[in-house]
Chains A and B, each alone.
Chain A
């Protein structure tokens, strides 16, 4: 594919330089999708703070850094990744710097789950093209999203989950994406499809064995079929110098349910866009998020919940905790389309500032074009309550311990909603550690 189109943009050039030429696929539609994305990536510019959608997130540090495609991944042993494993998850897909690691993975076929497909996209796309084509590239729009365009231009591999009709998968699926190489750029692409009446829990887990700068530019697409249920947990614990750009697009069919808990702990600069379309009657989504950051971290969450059809329900609670000179951003859009009558939506953004130098920008956005709806939203930004601190100190806790406990409690409300006990416990320990100041 030609990359000359992007010459005007030196940042993109550096990102694209040396990217191995992707082999054309035998699937024409797939080649066409990539070609379209290349075309758009070439026309789009790196967003700046003059763009409304990026006004608080300055990407200029990204430009100053050079990135290369990941080299052949270092051979990791299971011992290297064992501490990331989640006991409840019998199915696991491991990607190292974007490359699938079969020897570290336990895909679904090894468990003998009939009809269930949990494997890497690259190996399964040809055989399952019929199931994949209607979804891949259909939800994560890239016409005005440079990072989604780049991811699609480089579309090669990532996790593929297809849950067959009426199947309930009783083990969580753990998609573990490990960053190991400094200055590497990876573009993982995941596709999760729950066919009608099926049910699955998927953990999308970004971790790092690397404290240097690298960039993860991930796109995940999720299709929830009629009456199907997906519980999606997304944990971003990238290295402290990393750049993490994540786009997730979800489409809900009739009477389906999407339950999401996303937790952002890592990365120097992270941005997560979660776009959910309630695309048929009776669909329901519950979207919870937590960003817990410190030092010079920036964590930006943009969510959009699109009530495209009548009789749908959405619930959202997003929390940010910013310490030191960290900067958290939340922009939560809820849109109610003209014929989406009887919409029931509630959104809440609650934020905790732990330092005078920390900053939180929150912007709930409600756009209602129907007249018979029930929609609430609200946002608060505050500090720790002095009465609560006094109560704990009067029980002998030091000022620092009291502050830590209250901060932990604020974050734990979201962590508690994760349906995987061992992960919940581990994240609670992480939050406890991260909120522990001496």
Chain B
């Protein structure tokens, strides 16, 4: 929701990034304010997932130019864990399986790490159990997912729910959802997006990275950006996503339209 007294959370200017010496991002500009939901759309290879990983600090990507300010701080001064503690959250497209570590242990460790960083009380296992079960209801998750290894043997949909569960626990200022809709059937998509909607508020912001419009039927974006060749080539409102759905991506960037004021 765009509102008057919003604060700038993310300010990306001319961001360039490469992987193995090949430049993928070629000058991305984006401003995200509190309360806003931004969708970044584009075809495979457009650079949208790279953008998500660069923001989270994946070491395989080298930043080669430009700047990113997160709440006024240089994001690139921060290690991935420091970004997480500062309030950046990436929901992974392919969440990692960690057999041998129970999901509840992992979730509590992550939660308590952030709590102590924020000067808040940590929860012991029993307190956490109650707390996490409450959050799991939001995502209609079976509590037995707590006892299994982290994402171990989870279906695609279960993994995505577990990602959003982490978002619910960690309460980030900026959540980047990388293809969270991929691999979800229609029921799972409804549940996951419903969870995201409940977590969105006027103080945080969400970036949805997606190939398809269908997730935007459930989470209404304030802005839709089209990425192509490592740059944002078009920005519009939610109706832009519908245009993309009917007309595809080929026409974008060919005709020039003034970007919506952000």
A residues lining the B interface (CB < 8 Å): 385-388, 390-399, 401-402, 405-406, 408-413, 416
Contact = CB atoms under 8 A, between A and B. Distances in A.
Interface in B69-102: 79-81, 83-85, 89-90, 92, 95-96, 98-101
Given A393-B81, A394-B56, A413 B99 contact: yes
B77 to A, nearest CB: 16
Contacts of A399: 79, 81
Given A405-B106, A408-B101, A412-B100, A395 B166 contact: yes
Contacts of B113: 395-398, 401
B81 A412 contact: no
Contact of B114 (A387, A393, A396, A406): A396
Contacts of B80: 390, 393-394
A405 B105 CA distance: 10
Interface of B: 56-60, 79-81, 83-85, 89-90, 92, 95-96, 98-101, 106, 109-110, 113-114, 117, 149, 166, 170
A411 B166 CA distance: 25
Contacts of B101: 405-406, 408-409, 412
A410 B100 contact: yes
A395 B107 CA distance: 9
Task: Describe A's contact surface by its main secondary structure.
Answer: helix
Contact of A394 (B57, B60, B100, B149): B57
Contacts of A390: 56-59, 80
Contact of B109 (A385, A405, A406): A405
30 contacts: A387-B96, A388-B98, A390-B56, A390-B57, A390-B58, A390-B59, A390-B80, A391-B95, A392-B110, A393-B79, A393-B84, A394-B57, A394-B80, A394-B83, A395-B110, A397-B81, A397-B109, A397-B110, A397-B113, A399-B79, A401-B109, A401-B113, A405-B98, A405-B109, A409-B98, A409-B100, A409-B149, A411-B100, A412-B100, A413-B99
Contacts, number: 76
Query: Taking each of B89, B95, B110, which has the highest tally of chain A beta carbons within 10 Å of its own beta carbon?
Result: B110
Contacts of A393: 57, 79-81, 84
Contacts of A385: 96
Given A394-B81, A395-B113, 18 more contacts: A387-B96, A392-B98, A392-B110, A393-B81, A394-B80, A394-B84, A395-B110, A396-B114, A396-B170, A397-B109, A397-B113, A399-B81, A405-B98, A405-B106, A405-B109, A409-B99, A409-B101, A410-B100
Nearest to A387: B96
Contacts of B149: 409
Query: Taking each of A386, A391, A393, A406, which has the highest tally of chain B beta carbons within 10 Å of its own beta carbon?
Result: A391
A249 to B, nearest CB: 31
A416 B102 CA distance: 11
A392 B57 CA distance: 12
Nearest to B151: A391
Contacts of B99: 409, 413
Contacts of A413: 99-100
Contacts of A412: 100-101
